[in-house]
């Protein structure tokens, strides 16, 4: 009976792009393998309709692992004395873009901890230089919480997109994952400001983060419905040995894939990455994500000598198909699941919903 009910729920979600909370809860908690296969097939069909079999690539440049924050889950949190810190110079970042451009990347993602070195005075000329040198490329920033003035200035300098996972839509849960200095209200306010300023905005959350319940996952889907982010980064929580959450179990690959499919059905045109965390937890995690509705991958374009220092969680991968230099490997692996790499900016198709 549960099975027939779930198939009916998936049909409703595919048709109406929403479900009542109790149906999300039932689907997330009782789906069996066959339900998951059907859910994935519906998500794939809708992705195919909007984006075809193309997978967008983003060159990820991890510009600094210095961070003023102390998120309990994160390996680069300020209190982790075992983390060997680094930051890239502006010149290094431009060299990464140069290499990435030659490899075929048309989006550069500058991500980092909240590092006081990267003031507006340093970032603004850097962003405008990248946009001047590569006018056909999109610049995505993922540098955490900044002021409205800073986001506005960065947007004027040419930044196109901003990734800021909301982490959890439940304020009490947010406080269990972060020290008091960080507030769920400010995180959400930042997302609103970014949207107002005309960025393509990415939200997202970890699957299986400590204290997360199935009901909270329903809340995540409802938040995604309401906020309608242009991009949505979700990946399993993976513990890092030098954090307060070292002893927690990792999130589930199956649940992450189920949620990817739900999010694709909620917002057919959302840009949905198959995340590094998913690829870290399962050998074929990237492919499984794509087969459940993801359509973006973000190979690592950071200089080789810093890659293993941006350790957000244990065993984070940065080699093989995860490396920007190994695009051919990625191409082959994507071809094996019927997909091809798209070498353009890969903006969201706004008119499709």
Single out the residue of 58, 146, 178, 240 in contact with ligand SAM (rule: CB under 6 A): 240
Q: Long-range contacts for 84-91 (Cβ within 8 Å, ≥24 apart)?
A: 84/309, 85/309, 86/306, 86/309, 87/63, 87/112, 87/115, 87/117, 87/118, 88/61, 88/63, 88/64, 88/302, 88/303, 88/306, 90/122, 90/125, 90/126, 90/129
Closest to ligand SAM by CB, 132 or 315: 315
| Nearer to ligand SAM (CB atom), residue 32 or residue 172 | 172
- Using the minimum distance from each CB to ligand SAM, give the nearer residue, 38 or 73: 73
- Residues in binding contact with ligand SAM, number by CB under 6 A: 19
Contact map string, positions 182 to 221, toward ligand SAM, x by CB under 6 A: ------------------------x---------------
Judged by CB under 6 A, the stretch of 23-31, 40-48, 138-146, 170-178 that binds ligand SAM is 138-146
Residue 111 binds ligand SAM (CB under 6 A): yes
Please select the residue that binds ligand SAM; options are 165, 178, 286, 333, rule is CB under 6 A: 165
Residues 6+ apart with CB under 8 A from 330: 57, 297, 299, 321, 341
Confirm or reject binding of residue 144 to ligand SAM (CB under 6 A): yes
**Smallest gap, in angstroms, from Cβ of residue 54 to ligand SAM?**
25
293 binds ligand SAM (CB under 6 A): no
**Sheet of 107-112, strands arranged across:** 59-64, 107-112, 138-142, 161-163, 200-207, 231-236
Full DSSP string of 97-116: HHHHHHHT--EEEEEE---T
Query: How many CB atoms sit inside 10 A of residue 82's CB?
Result: 9
Q: Is the dihedral of CA 144, 145, 150, 155 positive or negative?
A: positive
Query: Is 24 or 73 the residue whose CB approaches ligand SAM more closely?
Result: 73
How far, in Å, CA of 102 to CA of 59, rounded?
A: 11
Residues 73-92, mask of contacts with ligand SAM (x by CB under 6 A): xx------------------
Q: Helix, strand, or coil here: 276?
A: helix
**Residue 253 tokens, joined:** 């690959």
The residue range among 18-26, 108-116, 121-129, 219-227 that interacts with ligand SAM, by the rule CB under 6 A, is 108-116
Q: Is 142 in the site for ligand SAM (CB under 6 A)?
A: yes
- How far is 246 from 238, CA to CA, in rounded Å? 9
DSSP element (H, E) containing 37: helix 33-51
Give whichever of 19 and 154 is closer to ligand SAM, judged by the CB atom.
154
Q: Please, what is the Cα angle at 252 between 61 and 14, to 5 degrees?
A: 90
Query: Which residue number, 44 or 224, has a Cβ lying nearer to ligand SAM?
Result: 224
What is the C-alpha to C-alpha distance for residues 30 and 254, in angstroms, rounded to an integer? 12
Distance of alpha carbon 276 from alpha carbon 119, whole angstroms: 28
Among 90, 114, 120, 225, the residue binding ligand SAM under the rule CB under 6 A is 114
Return the range that interacts with ligand SAM (CB under 6 A); candidates 17-25, 47-55, 237-245, 298-306. 237-245
Among the residue ranges 81-89, 107-115, 129-137, 328-336, the one whose residues contact ligand SAM (CB under 6 A): 107-115
Nearer to ligand SAM, 235 or 346 (CB): 235
Site string for ligand SAM, 10-49 (x = CB under 6 A): ----------------------------------------
Distance of CA 322 to the CA centre of its chain: 14
The first and second tokens of residue 352, run together, are: 């499709």
Q: Which two tokens stand for residue 20?
A: 């009542």
Candidates 49-57, 116-124, 233-241, 286-294; binding stretch for ligand SAM (CB under 6 A): 233-241
Residues forming the site for ligand SAM (CB under 6 A): 73-74, 111, 113-114, 142-144, 164-165, 167, 206, 235, 237-238, 240, 277, 312-313
């Amino acid at each position: 009976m549960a099975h027939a009910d779930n198939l009916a729920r998936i049909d409703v979600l595919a048709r109406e792009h929403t479900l009542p909370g109790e149906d999300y809860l039932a689907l997330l908690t009782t789906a069996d393998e066959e339900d998951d296969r059907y859910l994935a097939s519906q998500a794939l069909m809708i992705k195919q309709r909007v984006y075809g079999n193309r997978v967008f690539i983003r060159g990820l440049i991890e510009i600094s692992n210095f961070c003023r924050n102390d998120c309990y889950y994160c390996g680069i949190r300020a209190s982790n004395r075992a983390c060997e810190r680094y930051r890239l110079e502006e010149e290094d970042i431009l060299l990464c873009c140069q290499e990435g451009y030659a490899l075929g990347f048309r989006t550069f993602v500058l991500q980092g901890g909240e590092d006081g070195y990267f003031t507006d005075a340093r970032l603004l000329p850097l962003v405008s230089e990248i946009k001047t040198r590569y006018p056909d490329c999109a610049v995505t920033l993922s540098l955490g919480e900044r002021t409205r003035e800073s986001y506005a200035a960065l947007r004027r300098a040419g930044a196109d997109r901003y990734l800021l996972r909301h982490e959890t839509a439940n304020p009490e849960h947010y406080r269990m994952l972060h020290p008091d200095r960080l507030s769920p209200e400010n995180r959400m306010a930042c997302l609103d400001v970014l949207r107002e300023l005309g960025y393509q905005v990415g939200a997202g959350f970890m699957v299986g983060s400590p204290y997360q319940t199935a009901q909270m996952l329903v809340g995540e889907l409802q938040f995604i419905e309401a906020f309608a982010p242009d991009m949505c980064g979700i990946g399993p929580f993976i513990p890092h040995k030098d954090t307060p959450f070292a002893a927690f179990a990792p999130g589930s690959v199956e649940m992450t894939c189920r949620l990817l499919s739900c999010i694709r059905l909620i917002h057919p045109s959302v840009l949905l990455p198959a995340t590094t965390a998913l690829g870290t937890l399962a050998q074929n995690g990237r492919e499984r994500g794509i087969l459940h509705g993801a359509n973006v991958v973000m190979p690592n374009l950071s200089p080789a000598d810093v890659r293993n220092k941006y350790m957000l969680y244990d065993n984070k991968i940065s080699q093989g198909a995860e490396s920007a230099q190994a695009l051919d490997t990625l191409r082959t692996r994507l071809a094996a699941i019927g997909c091809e790499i798209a070498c353009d900016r890969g903006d969201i198709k706004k008119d499709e919903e």
